[in-house]
Amino acid sequence: MTADRAGSLTVTLCRDFGEFGALAGEWDALHRRCATATPFQSHAWLHSWWISYGQEGRLRVLLVRRSGRLIGRPR
């Protein structure tokens, strides 16, 4: 990953369901900032989907942050 003038970028892999649950606030803030976001990209929908259909140990979510702020997640 490269850095730009606005701040360094970091990519982390979320594999823990509890950690994913804790992302709700910053995930929702990113969702609100995205003009093309759909309801299926909201944390509430994805969290509910994972509870219903996810397989333990299979969660994989890449998170991209710039200077600590979440700026990217799967679309």
**8-31 confidence digits (pLDDT tens):** 899 999 999 999 999 999 999 999
Q: Is the pLDDT of residue 32 over 90?
A: yes
Rg (C-alpha) for the chain, rounded Å, is 13
State mean pLDDT over 35-60.
94
Output the pTM of the full model.
Answer: 0.78
**Rounded alpha-carbon distances, angstroms, from residue 3 to 32, 41, 52, 67, 70:** 25, 26, 38, 10, 15
Q: Where are the domains of the chain?
A: 3-72
